Chain A
């Protein structure tokens, strides 16, 4: 209700933070007007990474930052029946999370979303990372009004497609996320590091088999969403085609579905 009554303003410039690169997008009138890529990670433990260069290119306008899946921890919880009360549901989800999550939950920003009457999608991210990002922007006096997650942005974008894929592969420089959907709802997410292309195809194939056996669905078609400039998925597609997995990326070809509500 709050989201409907008090809609949030979308940022006028967006930074996508990848594993080994960052991209600055200037969207206007539902189109990307300007796009610039900066190599290197945004911050390192030892130094500030490419943040000074990014900060130099940023305008002092409302800014958003989209993080790739790397710093996030996803969980799906299934209950017999979800309680209506948000407070009770939170207690229930935290209790379930505590049973499987070894670290201190208080150190994480934990948010969860009711997917249907039984399933909850939980997302964790370290609070220190958020504080670090906010402090960098504060120092430069750039208003940061949006901190998002590329996978969730893609999920939101796919929800608008008439025939969404059974799963999508989100590729970054060194990481890969596989998000499986059933009847338009995410059911399983797996993140892994990319080795060779062949290894990646094998990992995808293995995960598809796992989902097929564990969940009552048969994934057949998928989307490739990559954040790399020159990446050819042809080899992987050919490998996956042998497993009867069809790539259908025409719907999002040349687009940036990880940028919130644009295009």
Chain B
């Protein structure tokens, strides 16, 4: 049971000694609580400081890594550029190989008949490069037959000359798809 304080006296007095003791205990408790609070705050601050330090360290590490990544990216770009150049060069080599003048000469040999001669030939060694040539034919119908064969290849007849012995034509063609 809780103590029942029953005092009906009109003039009561405070027990100064107990009051002082209570105050002292309260003061000490307050001091203790403050000390505990300060200790806890200090510990928290220290922890906070440590965490900040760690965060800063991690941030520095991250920054280093970022710089490393940037450096690697630059290296990659440089290599990529180099490889692209090499690839372009290789492709150009392949292209050159694909659109070979041998194929064109072979084509020209096939379309030209027996009574015809190629007097002069200029080949641009590029894909779909224009071939300029001077053709001598013994008969006009042979020349016309050649024209018919070359019509699908953007035939441009620059001039035609007739002499006593033969017919001469200066013409150019463009073979777009040499595979056909």
Contact = CB atoms under 8 A, between A and B. Distances in A.
A147 B9 contact: yes
A65 to B, nearest CB: 8
Interface stretch (A39-47, A149-157, A212-220): A149-157
Given A7-B19, A9-B16, A144 B6 contact: no
Contact of A8 (B1, B3, B4, B13): B13
Interface stretch (A27-35, A107-115, A169-177, A246-254): A107-115
Given A7-B19, A147-B8, A115 B13 contact: no
A126 to B, nearest CB: 11
A179 B31 CA distance: 45
Interface string B5-45: 11111111111101100100000000000000000000000
A255 B14 CA distance: 27
A202 interface: no
Contacts of B3: 156, 159
A145 B13 contact: yes
A125 B8 contact: yes
A23 interface: no
A8 B15 CA distance: 5
A145 B15 CA distance: 11
Contacts, number: 69
Given A5-B22, A145-B9, A155 B15 contact: no
A123 interface: yes
Contacts of B19: 5-7
A19 interface: no
A60 to B, nearest CB: 14
A4 B2 CA distance: 13
A7 B15 contact: yes
Nearest to B7: A146
A111 B9 CA distance: 13
Contacts of A156: 3-4
Interface in A1-23: 3-10
A144 B22 contact: no
A148 B14 contact: no
Contacts of A159: 1-3
Interface in B127-167: none
Interface in A187-230: none
What's the interface size class on A, roughly?
20 to 34
B90 to A, nearest CB: 92
Contacts of A78: none
A255 to B, nearest CB: 18
Nearest to A152: B6
Contacts of A186: 1
B13 A62 contact: yes
Given A9-B16, A123-B6, A149-B6, A184 B1 contact: yes
B12 A152 contact: no
Contacts of A109: 8
B1 A115 contact: yes
Nearest to A4: B22
Candidate in B8, B14, B22 with the most chain A CB atoms within 10 angstroms: B8
Contacts of B11: 143-145
Contacts of B2: 159
Contacts of A147: 7-9
A113 B7 CA distance: 13
Contacts of B13: 8-9, 62, 143, 145
28 contacts: A3-B5, A5-B22, A6-B14, A7-B22, A8-B7, A8-B12, A8-B13, A8-B14, A9-B13, A9-B14, A9-B15, A111-B8, A115-B1, A123-B6, A125-B8, A143-B11, A144-B9, A144-B11, A145-B9, A146-B9, A148-B6, A148-B7, A149-B6, A155-B1, A156-B3, A156-B4, A159-B2, A185-B1
Given A10-B15, A146-B7, 16 more contacts: A7-B14, A7-B19, A8-B5, A8-B7, A8-B15, A113-B4, A123-B6, A125-B8, A130-B8, A134-B9, A134-B10, A143-B11, A147-B8, A148-B7, A156-B3, A185-B1
Interface of B: 1-16, 18-19, 22
